[in-house]
Amino acid sequence: MENRDIAGIFSQIADILDIKGENPFRIRSYRNAARAIGDMSESVAAMVREGKDLEEIPGIGASIAGKIGEIVATGSCAFLGELRESLPRGLPELLRIEGMGPKKVKLFYDTLKIDSVDRLEAAAGKGELKGLPGMGEKSEENIIQALARYRAGQGRFKLSVGLEYAESIIAFLKKAKGVKAIEAAGSVRRRRETVGDLDILAICSPGSDIMERFAGYDGIREMIAHGGTKSSARLSCGLQVDVRVLPPSSFGAALQYFTGSKEHNVALRTRAVRKGLKLSEYGVFKGRRAVAGPDEEKVYSAVGLPWIPPELRENHGEIEAAEKGQLPKLIELKDMRGDLQMHTTATDGTESVAEMAEKALSLGYEYIAITDHSRAVRVAGGLDEKRLGRHLKEIDRAQDRIKGIRILRGVEVDILPDGRLDLDDAILKECEVVIAAVHYRFTMTEADMTRRIIKGISNPRVHIFGHPTGRLILERPGYPVNIEELVKAARDYGVALEINAHPDRLDLKDSHARLAREKGVRLAISTDAHSPAQLDLMRYGIFTARRGWVEAGDVINAYPLKKFLGMLRK
């Protein structure tokens, strides 16, 4: 049982209690537990096995601790089973459609007997929703669009889910007999923001028990196919995993082929044909003679190219750039000198300034900025001028105690609907790093939203525009904003655009980050951590940056402190 699976059970419980209109405090306690467990780096299942006290975890009380014990021991939760029985099966899924809260789910069920995504689609198509209380032409249209997006994302998973399972399965399979090499290919290796399935490739010596061991992996719901060289399984989260065993003579070619993308492969194969070669998952052949196969780098050199980093393999110009020797020198995690967005207990983070700084120090950073919310973010207890003033003093006190890392005074200030900032210039002047961002009132036209944001970042106090589109991957598309105009304004005002490394966000997304750097706009890559453990999420921001052809020189927090401070707009 992974933490993620346990957290998933608690959020399902919260969803169903929500539809049933139960006590909000009870619902919140399940949501908090789901979040706390999802954020932990230590395995909760291991804690149970070691007899540790789960109630020490913030947000976990006796009743939830008891349920965790049950889940770890039995693999399921009887309470969730009962709750599911008490509702039509398809209802909880409706909550996953953007804009469908428990109240709407209940309304549609009570009035139109809508108990599944199919039925919701049918009713919306017939125009039956707009006549219901609180609904109208516009809200029905919004649901139709949300349904289309939901269908398009169905069966896909966030990169973090895919990558963490891939890493866990590979670590597990490495312990099988005779495994010589094992790697994840496919969209996970290209670090796409969502993945459809996992493609794992291995080289094994004869007599290996890798496939037997695979069938024993904890997270598997069912084996789809079980063979000597290829097995497929479905995990309990729904993700499919294919494991292939390959001969060493074609491992490199297979790794290249199964990494894709399909579009990159087609272009590469065309290039091979032009050179009188044949490229396949088995190797590169001149007539019947193999000229490459065991090694991926040699597959590329056989067609006259340097090795191309997997993140670039989308046939978006990488083959042409490689041919001219103009591939970017992509940014790496080790290039990062600081993290510029994080929250503490002053607003919606879980730990103090000092605890965030200690963790950042352990990651080897030179500096961090503490950037709690401004008052407009009411749910997070956002700060007004007075509270921010006190919080900045708290940051200074932490700095006095902690050596070896610079703790910058910062804030994440909201851009109000009219484009003004949510805090006075006088207090913003006290902050060394000011991130501006939009957190509410997303329903504006693109023109109005673009105007709002550009007005916000035109304030000379602003250094960075945070999570620039507000999207949540596979959950909500973000607000409408004209990216070309935003990029132009960021350049004119000298404001950096953020790549938010939180795996639910990852915006600017890859293609937008590429556009920004091409236009000479600087980027910031930050985790937006709400707990010390989330500072580890930086790698996801790096993946997105790499997919956007970003180099270390494009990123303000890849510079040493002094240089970085000089680059902040004055």
Tokens of 468: 């620039």
Cα gap 478→483, rounded to integer Å: 12
Give the nearest distance from C-beta 269 to ligand DGT in angstroms: 6
- Residue 239 Cβ, how far from ligand DGT at the closest point, in Å? 10
Residue among 254 and 376 whose Cβ is closer to Zn ion? 376
x-or-dash string of contact with Ca ion, 128-167, rule CB under 5 A: ----------------------------------------
Pure H helices in 113-158 = 117-125, 137-153
Measure the CA–CA gap between 28 and 379, rounded to whole angstroms: 13
Among residues 15, 6, 14, 65, the alpha carbon closest in space to that of 37 is found at 6
Which of 232, 199, 197 lies closest to 214, judged by CA? 232
Cα 556 vs. chain centroid, distance in angstroms?
21
Quote the CA–CA distance of 447 and 488 in Å, as a whole number.
15
Listed ranges 30-38, 187-195, 247-255, 424-432: which one lies at the site for Ca ion (CB under 5 A): 187-195
Give burial (CB, 10 Å; 0-12/13-18/19+) of 416.
middle
* First CA to last CA distance, the chain: 50
**Minimum distance from residue 162 beta carbon to Ca ion (Å):** 8
301 phi and psi, to 5 degrees?
A: -70, -30
Question: Which of 160, 187, 371, 544 is the binder for ligand DGT (CB under 6 A)?
Answer: 187
Q: For residues 187 and 232, which CB has a smaller minimum distance to ligand DGT in the complex?
A: 187
# residues near Zn ion by CB under 5 A: 1
Q: Which is nearer to Zn ion, 308 or 436 (CB)?
A: 436
Q: Under the criterion CB under 5 A, does residue 186 sit at the interface with Ca ion?
A: yes
The residue among 485, 490, 568, 472 whose CA lies nearest residue 528 is 472
The residues in 462-481 that bind Ca ion, with binding defined as CB under 5 A, are: none
CB of 92 to ligand DGT, least distance (A): 25
C-beta separation of 561 from 366 below 8 A: yes
Smallest gap from residue 520 Cβ to Zn ion (A): 25
Q: Whose CB is nearest to Ca ion?
A: 186
CA-angle at 476, arms to 471 and 479, nearest 5°: 55
Q: How far, in Å, CA of 257 to CA of 262, rounded?
A: 8
Per-residue string for binding with Ca ion, 342-361, x by CB under 5 A? --------------------
Q: For residues 311 and 327, what is the distance between their CA atoms, to the nearest angstrom?
A: 12
In this structure, which amino acid lies at residue 471?
R
Cβ distance to Ca ion smaller for residue 10 or 258: 258
- Single residue of 59, 178, 196, 477 touching ligand DGT by CB under 6 A: 196
Residue pointed to by tokens 């985790």? 527
Binding status of residue 414 toward Ca ion by CB under 5 A: no
* Options 135, 195, 253, 376; binder of ligand DGT; rule CB under 6 A: 195
195 vs 435 by CB, closer to ligand DGT: 195
Among 233-241, 263-271, 437-445, 542-550, the segment contacting Zn ion (CB under 5 A): 437-445
For residues 69 and 44, give the distance between their C-alpha atoms in angstroms, rounded to a whole number.
9
Classify 436 as helix, strand or coil: strand
* 411 versus 513: smaller Cβ distance to Zn ion: 411
Q: Binding marks (x or -) toward ligand DGT, 202..241, rule CB under 6 A? A: ----------------------------------------
Break the chain down into helix, strand, coil percent, rounded to 5: 45, 15, 35
Q: Quote the DSSP letter at residue 373.
A: E
Smallest distance, Ca ion to C-beta of residue 245, A: 15
- Complex with ligand DGT: residue 313 or 512, whichever CB lies closer: 313
The 8 Å CB, 24+ separation contacts for 124-131 are none
Residue 265's binding partner among ligand DGT, Ca ion, Zn ion, none (Cβ under 5 to 8 angstroms by kind) is: ligand DGT
Q: Tell which one of 197, 355, 430, 448 touches Ca ion (CB under 5 A).
A: 197
By rule CB under 6 A, what string of x and - marks binding of each residue 247-266 to ligand DGT? ----------xx-xxx--xx
Which among 1-9, 130-138, 194-202, 354-362 is the span making contact with ligand DGT, rule CB under 6 A? Answer: 194-202
- Return the residue of 5, 15, 115, 199 that touches Ca ion, per CB under 5 A: 199
Closest distance of CB 202 from ligand DGT, Å = 16
DSSP 366: S
Residue from 199, 311, 339, 498 that binds ligand DGT (CB under 6 A)? 199
d(CA 547, CA 509): 9
Structural element, H or E, at residue 547: helix 538-547
Give me the residues paired with residue 415 across strands. Answer: 421
Show the tokens assigned to 236: 């309990």
Nearest Cα to Cα of residue 506 among 527, 522, 535, 531:
527
Judged by beta carbon distances under 5 to 8 A according to partner kind, the member of ligand DGT, Zn ion, Ca ion, none in contact with residue 261 is ligand DGT
Which of Ca ion, ligand DGT, Zn ion, none does 204 bind, CB closer than 5 to 8 A by kind?
A: none
- If contact means CB under 5 to 8 A according to the sort of partner, which of ligand DGT, Ca ion, Zn ion, none does residue 540 touch? none
User: In angstroms, how far apart are the furthest CA atoms of the chain?
Assistant: 77
Distance CA 372, CA 411 (A): 5
437 lies in the site for Zn ion, by CB under 5 A: yes
Q: C-alpha 294: how far from its chain's center?
A: 33
Nearer Cβ to Ca ion (83/184): 184
The alpha carbon of 114 is separated from its chain's Cα centroid by a whole number of angstroms, namely 31
**Which of Zn ion, ligand DGT, Ca ion, none interacts with 371 (beta carbon under 5 to 8 A by kind)?**
none
In the complex, the smallest distance separating the C-beta of residue 524 from Zn ion, rounded to whole angstroms, is: 13
Q: Which of 229/362 has CB closer to Ca ion?
A: 229
Among 92, 102, 186, 338, binds ligand DGT (CB under 6 A): 186
Nearest approach, Cβ of residue 61 and Zn ion (Å): 29
Tell me how far apart the alpha carbons of residues 556 and 539 are, in angstroms, rounded to a whole number: 16
Residues forming contacts to Ca ion in the complex (CB under 5 A) are 186-187, 197, 199
Residues forming contacts to ligand DGT in the complex (CB under 6 A) are 186-187, 195-197, 199, 257-258, 260-262, 265-266
Residues forming contacts to Zn ion in the complex (CB under 5 A) are 437
